[in-house]
């Protein structure tokens, strides 16, 4: 199986030893507390689950700037996105060396992790704007990712962490949330060696389904990891439970047994386009996948990124040998009226514009919100039924 990023073995930061876990829970009640914001909490979950291997905790400003500018930490580790614990209020922790990190997303704010503080630094406006521009190409307040990053706190608290739970993800998504450790174990149990990963924050319409099938067949892989984001999205995106149900139904009906693993991970969407594509590839390597599908406008939002910037970044910014995982580059996908199937447009040079039905998640959402049935070129009927049920329920509430 492919090695994790940056180490020979995966080193999740979750404390699995029962006695040690109990002792840390007890200690946490005596420590100064910091209520995390959602980005810092999701970073802790990802660190605990082994997705951010080989990081041992939150970065300081120097590492964050180095990562934003040069795709590497100050020690030289390849990494695409700063992993921060930021806050605007350090009154309760400014003299502490060890603190309890509390979960903002669970009732009662239980302890999510314990952090040893190496430094507490204050970001300058210049540093914050530099990182935001490097990560998102903009500081525009209309960009949901840039806005979140700009407003996540002026203080950066760096240092290693020990993770004690996985927030709401295990409880709310018991059949779907999986750590990188668990995914590696299941890949091994299934006897897969070559695995292609597919990232999604949306229900999978026909184009997504066929893209997975194309990658599976072209690369001759043993299996497909459908890996959905379970954290926070922007307003208007379809909630995780609905996506989960739709994807599982599509896999159940239209893929052979033991070819697809449907799983999810606990992270908030960044909408960082090319940068996020590289982060997605990095932590899919940590799950044991050998290949990763990067399509048009991967992790994009609005018109902030070029259609294929998330592919060219692997040529321009990812040094040779930095990642072991390989990229499967997908073109625009569309339904061919000539061939009666979804195709990549580059593969059918004999087609004209009139030969295609262009598929779009945005178009699907618009039709559903208007109560229109989805044509079979857009969505499988079993999937459309689940999505329509959700939109009808929303309409009844409003």
pLDDT tens column, 36-79? 999 999 999 999 999 999 999 999 999 999 999 999 999 999 99
**Predicted pLDDT at 359:** 61
Among 60, 85, 165, 202, which one carries the catalytic annotation?
Answer: 202
- Every domain of the chain with CATH number 3.40.50.620 lies at 175-397
Closest among 5, 52, 263 to 163, alpha carbons compared: 52
Q: Is the pLDDT of residue 103 over 80?
A: yes
Asked whether the beta carbons of 378 and 334 are under 8 A apart, the reply is: no
Taking only the tens place, the pLDDT of each residue in 158-190 is: 999 999 999 999 999 999 999 999 999 999 999
**Predicted pLDDT at 361:** 63
202 is catalytic: yes
Among 102, 201, 275, 296, which one carries the catalytic annotation?
Answer: 201
Q: What are the backbone angles phi and psi of residue 22, rounded to the nearest 5°?
A: -65, -45
201 is catalytic: yes
Look over the chain and give the mean of its residue pLDDT values, rounded to a whole number. Answer: 94
Taking only the tens place, the pLDDT of each residue in 301-350 is: 999 999 999 999 999 999 999 999 999 999 877 788 888 888 888 889 89
**Distance between CA atoms of residues 320 and 198, nearest Å:** 23
What pTM value is reported for the model?
A: 0.94
Q: Which CATH architecture has domain 175-397?
A: 3-Layer(aba) Sandwich (3.40)
**Predicted pLDDT at 47:** 98
**Predicted pLDDT at 1:** 87
Q: What is the CB-side half-sphere exposure of residue 13 using CA atoms within 13 A?
A: 24
- Every domain of the chain with CATH number 3.10.400.10 lies at 18-170
**Predicted pLDDT at 345:** 83
Q: Is the pLDDT of residue 366 over 90?
A: no
Name the residue with tokens 């949901």: 144
pLDDT band at 32 (very low <50, low <70, confident <90, very high): very high
Name the residue with tokens 């001759």: 220
**Predicted pLDDT at 336:** 87
**Distance between CA atoms of residues 202 and 233, nearest Å:** 10
pLDDT band at 360 (very low <50, low <70, confident <90, very high): low
Taking only the tens place, the pLDDT of each residue in 257-299 is: 999 999 999 999 999 999 999 999 999 999 999 999 999 889 9
**Predicted pLDDT at 201:** 86
Q: Is the pLDDT of residue 236 over 80?
A: no
Q: Is the pLDDT of residue 221 over 70?
A: yes
Asked whether the beta carbons of 157 and 115 are under 8 A apart, the reply is: yes
Top CATH class, 18-170: alpha beta
User: Which SS3 state, helix, strand or coil, does residue 287 take?
Assistant: coil
**Distance between CA atoms of residues 285 and 323, nearest Å:** 8
User: Which SS3 state, helix, strand or coil, does residue 39 take?
Assistant: helix
User: Which SS3 state, helix, strand or coil, does residue 343 take?
Assistant: strand
């Amino acid at each position: 199986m492919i090695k994790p990023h940056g180490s020979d073995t995966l080193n999740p930061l979750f404390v699995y030893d029962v006695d040690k876990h109990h002792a840390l829970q007890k200690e946490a009640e005596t420590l100064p507390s910091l209520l995390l914001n959602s980005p810092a909490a999701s970073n802790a979950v990802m660190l605990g689950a082994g997705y951010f291997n080989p990081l041992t905790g939150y970065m300081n400003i120097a590492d964050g700037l180095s990562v934003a500018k040069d795709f590497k930490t100050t020690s030289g580790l390849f990494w695409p996105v700063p992993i921060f614990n930021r806050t605007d209020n350090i009154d309760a922790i400014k003299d502490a060396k060890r603190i309890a990190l509390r979960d903002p997303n669970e009732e009662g704010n239980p302890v999510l992790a314990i952090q040893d503080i190496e430094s507490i630094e204050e970001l300058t406006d210049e540093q914050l704007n530099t990182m935001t521009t490097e990560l998102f190409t903009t500081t525009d307040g209309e960009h949901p990712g840039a806005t979140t990053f700009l407003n996540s706190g002026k203080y950066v608290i760096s240092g290693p962490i020990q993770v004690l739970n996985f927030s709401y993800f295990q409880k709310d998504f018991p059949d779907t949330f999986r750590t990188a450790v668990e995914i590696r174990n299941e890949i091994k149990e299934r006897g897969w060696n070559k695995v292609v990963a597919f990232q999604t924050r949306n229900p999978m319409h026909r184009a997504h389904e066929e893209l997975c099938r194309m990658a599976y067949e072209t690369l001759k892989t043993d299996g497909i990891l459908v890996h959905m984001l379970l954290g926070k999205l922007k307003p208007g995106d379809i909630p995780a439970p609905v996506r989960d149900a739709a994807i599982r139904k599509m896999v159940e009906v239209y893929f052979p047994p033991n070819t697809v693993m449907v799983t999810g991970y606990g992270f908030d969407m960044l909408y960082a386009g090319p940068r996020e594509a590289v982060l997605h590839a990095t932590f899919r390597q940590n799950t044991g996948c050998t290949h990763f599908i990067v399509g048009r406008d991967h992790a994009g939002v609005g018109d902030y990124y070029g259609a294929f910037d998330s592919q060219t970044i692997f040529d321009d910014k990812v040094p040779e040998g930095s990642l072991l995982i390989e990229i499967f580059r997908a073109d625009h996908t569309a339904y061919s009226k000539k061939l009666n199937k979804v195709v990549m447009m580059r593969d059918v040079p004999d087609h004209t514009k009139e030969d295609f039905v262009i598929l779009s998640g945005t178009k699907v959402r618009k039709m559903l919100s208007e109560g229109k049935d989805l044509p079979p070129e857009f969505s499988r009927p079993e999937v459309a039924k689940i999505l329509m049920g959700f939109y009808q329920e929303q309409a009844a509430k409003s």
